[in-house]
Amino acid sequence: MNSLVTRAATLDFSQGPLLMGIINVTPDSFSDGGQCLRPEDAIARAETLVEEGAVLLDVGGESTRPGAEAVSDEEELRRVLPVVEILAQRLPRVPISVDTSKAGVARQCLEAGASLINDVTALGDPGMPAVLREHGVPVILMHMRGDPRTMQANPVYKDVVAEVMSFFRARIAFAEKSGLPREKLLLDPGFGFGKTTAHNLQLLARLSQFRDLDLPLVAGLSRKSFIGRLLGGEESPLPPADRESGSLAANLRAAQEGAAVLRVHNVKDTAHALRLFKALR
């Protein structure tokens, strides 16, 4: 699938991956928690990300880092809704994604102008399909073993790629049975969500196999813990701020493997790296 129609714009994947800039309006996200708690800070970051090359923005109000505690619908909405409302007015041609697994949060954000939903539970909330049908927006279906509180408790796979592929086939079938058009679906293998370092490396090395599903692939590799462990060692992994070089390498491999969207913190450097990658290709 070479394009995706959203309310704000039609996204063209034919020239290589597009950049989704991350805006975490949370106090506890693993990399940048607390930096965008005030709506004005989140808006300023969003405008900077777009200037640097982001063509989508992903706003999240609940941390999904390992061990993160859940927040209520009310608290999540308090964090994200003002940001979505302002961004939809100020950047009307930039699709705003909301990183939420809650149907109630998704509904209010879509009514406020969001263009798509990034659901780490892949329609785990029974009410989510109805909200998506009502608004006719795309959704990112992500693979996660367990939930953020349990996902890193000794994850085991016989073949991580085959098992994630099987999960996607089941969730695609569920989405279509729930009345969601296939052309509105994107897939995220969930790097770092219930996977060891070895699992993440296998997924990245064989990412192109997911193209058999003929849906856009989203890769969220930016500053992930496995990059810190690979670069600094299991006992002393590099902190998130020192994982940029590894993130760039991982994102370029994802681009080579056919990712349609790269979800990143550092848009500027990733955009520069992709420009050279495309020129060489």
- Structural domains for the chain: 15-280 (3.20.20.20)
Give residue 36's pLDDT: 63
Integer angstrom CA distances of residue 65 from 148, 152, 224, 251: 6, 10, 10, 20
Give residue 28's pLDDT: 52
Q: What is the mean pLDDT of each run of 10 residues along the chain (281 residues)?
A: 94 96 78 64 95 97 78 94 96 97 98 98 98 98 80 82 98 98 98 95 98 97 96 94 96 98 98 95 80
Integer angstrom CA distances of residue 170 from 38, 165, 200, 280: 39, 9, 21, 37
Query: Is residue 98 within 8 Å of 108, Cβ to Cβ?
Result: no
Of the candidates 80, 35, 23, the residue with the CA atom closest to the CA atom of residue 263: 23
Would you name the residues annotated as active-site residues? 224, 263
Whole-angstrom Cα distance, residue 231 to residue 165?
28
Q: What is the pLDDT of residues 238-281, one digit of tens each?
A: 999 999 999 999 999 999 999 999 999 999 999 999 999 999 98
Q: Terminal CA-to-CA distance of the chain, rounded, Å?
A: 20
Give residue 33's pLDDT: 47
Of the candidates 62, 53, 54, 49, the residue with the CA atom closest to the CA atom of residue 20: 54
